[in-house]
């Protein structure tokens, strides 16, 4: 029978563990503080920011909200980041993406101190992951590893295929699977005969950004399938990059959308925030 990996339940467990850790830090007089910056009022970003603030509140992390107008200049944003980098009581800084067109995203992300980069996007942290050193890891791929581990799925020695090579999901995902001793292949839009590649996978992680693209013919019988994608379909229903109804019966384990990888991203952000207190 197919194991449905319950991201909601696992993320709740993680948040409960973090809540206890935060309480222990508080008892030692240590408070954790996350600065969340949003530029403009993109409705999807507002939802993400609100969810992050709620998670902070639940766990006992102090959050500072900076809601800047759409016309904020790059210089103004960089100056706020510089101020937050210098403030000792701020442990983590998060800039909600996307940013308005007048602001260079890369420049902004690179301006955040690597020691406060709880999203794990700074090149220093990406480099640390690459060479197996300690650092903040991008939250969504880190969440996938937690899902696998806490579902009793071993990665070591397995054929792992990641579809997608973005900087925030595909590449760090591949590096994390490698760190866990998986045998890793990264597929992308130029991959020839994608189905042959994905059908090799014992663990298939899909971060392709195309609704329901991965159908049963891309999946080996008994594979573990992790769906990172999140979309609204023509009926405004949430769906992933995997065609769940056709794929699920062929898997040993699969993540649903919603309720799979999605809830793990915020849980791992909270984990990074808690870890930021000791860097």
Active site (catalytic) residues = 52, 96, 119
Q: According to the binding rule CB under 6 A, does residue 147 interact with ligand NDP?
A: no
- Residue from 37, 90, 111, 207 binding ligand NDP (CB under 6 A): 207
Instruction: Report CA torsion sign: 191, 195, 196, 200.
Output: positive
Using alpha carbons only, give the angle 210, 262, 157 rounded to the nearest 5 degrees: 80
86-105 positions binding ligand NDP, by CB under 6 A: none
Per-residue CA distances from 100 to 71, 75, 86, 118, 258 (Å): 8, 13, 25, 21, 28
Q: Quick check: 162 and 155 in contact, CB under 8 A? A: no
Q: According to the binding rule CB under 6 A, does residue 164 interact with ligand NDP?
A: yes
Q: According to the binding rule CB under 6 A, does residue 229 interact with ligand NDP?
A: yes
Q: According to the binding rule CB under 6 A, does residue 7 interact with ligand NDP?
A: no
- Residue from 39, 137, 168, 267 binding ligand NDP (CB under 6 A): 168
103-142 positions binding ligand NDP, by CB under 6 A: 140
Using alpha carbons only, give the angle 242, 205, 3 rounded to the nearest 5 degrees: 70
What is the x/- site pattern for ligand NDP, positions 231-260, by CB under 6 A? x---------x-------------------
Q: Which range binds ligand NDP by CB under 6 A, 38-46, 100-108, 186-194, 218-226?
A: 186-194
Q: How far apart are CA 266 and CA 51, in angstroms?
A: 8
Size of the residue set binding ligand NDP (CB under 6 A):
26
Closest separation in Å from C-beta 232 to ligand NDP: 10
Q: How far apart are CA 72 and CA 85, in angstroms?
A: 19
Q: Kindly provide the b/e burial profile for residues 202-240, where b requires at least 16 CB atoms within 10 angstroms of the residue's own CB.
A: bbbbbbbbebbbbeeebbbeebbbbbbbbeeeeeeeebb
Closest residue by beta carbon to ligand NDP: 166
Give the residues lining the site for ligand NDP (CB under 6 A).
140, 163-166, 168-170, 187-191, 194, 207-210, 228-231, 241, 261-262, 265
């Amino acid at each position: 029978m197919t194991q449905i990996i319950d991201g909601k339940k696992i993320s709740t467990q993680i948040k409960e563990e973090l809540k206890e850790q935060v309480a222990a830090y508080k008892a030692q007089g240590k408070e954790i503080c996350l600065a969340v910056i949003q530029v403009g009022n993109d409705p999807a970003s507002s939802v993400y920011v609100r969810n992050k603030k709620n998670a902070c509140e639940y766990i006992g992390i102090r959050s500072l909200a900076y809601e800047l107008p759409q016309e904020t200049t790059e210089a103004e944003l960089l100056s706020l980041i510089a101020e937050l980098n210098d403030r000792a009581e701020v442990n983590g800084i998060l800039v909600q993406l996307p940013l308005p067109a007048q602001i260079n995203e890369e420049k902004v992300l690179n301006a955040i101190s690597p020691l406060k980069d709880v999203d794990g996007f700074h090149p220093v942290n990406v480099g640390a992951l690459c060479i197996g050193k300690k650092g903040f890891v991008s939250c969504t791929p880190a969440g996938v590893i937690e899902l696998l581990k806490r579902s009793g799925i071993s990665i070591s020695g397995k054929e792992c295929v990641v579809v997608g090579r973005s900087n925030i999901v595909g590449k760090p995902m591949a590096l994390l699977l490698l760190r866990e001793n998986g045998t890793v292949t990264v597929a992308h839009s130029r991959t020839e005969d994608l189905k042959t590649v994905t059908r090799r996978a014992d663990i298939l992680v899909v971060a392709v950004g195309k609704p329901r693209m991965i159908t049963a013919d891309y999946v080996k019988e008994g594979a573990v399938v992790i769906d990172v994608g999140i979309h609204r379909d023509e009926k405004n229903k949430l769906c992933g990059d995997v065609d769940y109804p056709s794929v699920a019966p062929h898997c040993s384990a699969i993540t649903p959308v919603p309720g799979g990888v999605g809830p793990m991203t915020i849980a791992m952000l909270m984990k990074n925030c808690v870890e930021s207190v000791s860097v």
